[in-house]
Amino acid sequence: MAIAGEPCLSLRFNEPKECVAMAMINILGFGGSRRKGSYNSALLRTAAQLMPDGSRLEIHDISNIPMFDPEQSSNPPRTVMDFQDAIRKADGLLVATPEYNYSVPGYIKNVFDAASLPAERNPFPGKPVALLSASTGMLGGARAQYHLRQVFVFLDMIPVGRPEVFITFANQKFNENLELRDENSKELIRKLLFNLVSLSKKLKSPD
C-alpha cells in the first residue's frame, strides 16, 4: 500500500494500481559552531533544503552537550543519551565542521567522545557519515575533515568518499542572511547528499 506523499519504488506484480512505499531516509545533521553567525551551521540549514527526494535532514542541537567527563561515562547526562538515541535512529549522519588551528574544534570532537561511551550505547559503528566544512581561509576546512575521518576509523563508521565539500572563503559565498549564494558549492552539496542517501539506503535495506 502506498503512503500518501511518499514516493513509489515499484508496482506490485499483483496490484498494478498500487505501489510499494519507499522508506524515508532520515539523516541526522550536527556540528556548526557556537558562533551566532556560524557558516557551518548555515551549511547544515542549506543542506536541509537540498536533500534528495525521499530523504530528510533533521538538525540536532549539540550546544547543550557538556564537556566529556570519563567519570560519568557509564552514566551519561540526559543530553548525551538523547544524542546517542537520535544517532541510533538515523539512517546516516551529516557533520558540518569548522577548522580551528588546522584541526577539528574541541566542540565537535567532544560530542564524538561523549556519545561513544559506554560501549553498549555507542551508536557510531556501521553508521554512514558525510562531511561538510566552511572556513574563511583558502582550504575550506580540509584539515579538520581529514582529522575527523581518522576519528571515523576508530569508531568504525562508513564515510562517504566523494565529493569532498570544502567551502573556501566562506565570508564571500554566504550573504548577510547566511544564505549560500555560490551555485558551484550548492551543486557539490547536492552530489554529496545524493551519495550519502544512496549509501544509507543500501545499508538500511541491503537487498
Ligand X SMILES: Cc1cc2nc3c(=O)[nH]c(=O)nc-3n(C[C@H](O)[C@H](O)[C@H](O)COP(=O)(O)O)c2cc1C
Which residues are near ligand X by CB under 6 A? 32-33, 35, 38-40, 98-102, 135-137, 139, 141, 170
Angle at 19 between CA 15 and CA 25, to 5 degrees: 150
- Nearest-approach distance from CB 166 to ligand X, in angstroms: 9
Of residues 53 and 176, the one with the C-beta less far from ligand X: 176
Of residues 52 and 137, the one with the C-beta less far from ligand X: 137
Of residues 38 and 84, the one with the C-beta less far from ligand X: 38
- Nearest-approach distance from CB 101 to ligand X, in angstroms: 5
- Nearest-approach distance from CB 131 to ligand X, in angstroms: 14
- Nearest-approach distance from CB 34 to ligand X, in angstroms: 8
Of residues 91 and 99, the one with the C-beta less far from ligand X: 99
- Nearest-approach distance from CB 38 to ligand X, in angstroms: 3
What residues pair up with 70 in beta bridges, in sequence order? none
Give the C-alpha separation, 3 to 100, whole Å. Answer: 45
Residue written as grid cell 568518499: 161
For ligand X, the nearest residue by Cβ is: 137
Of residues 101 and 150, the one with the C-beta less far from ligand X: 101
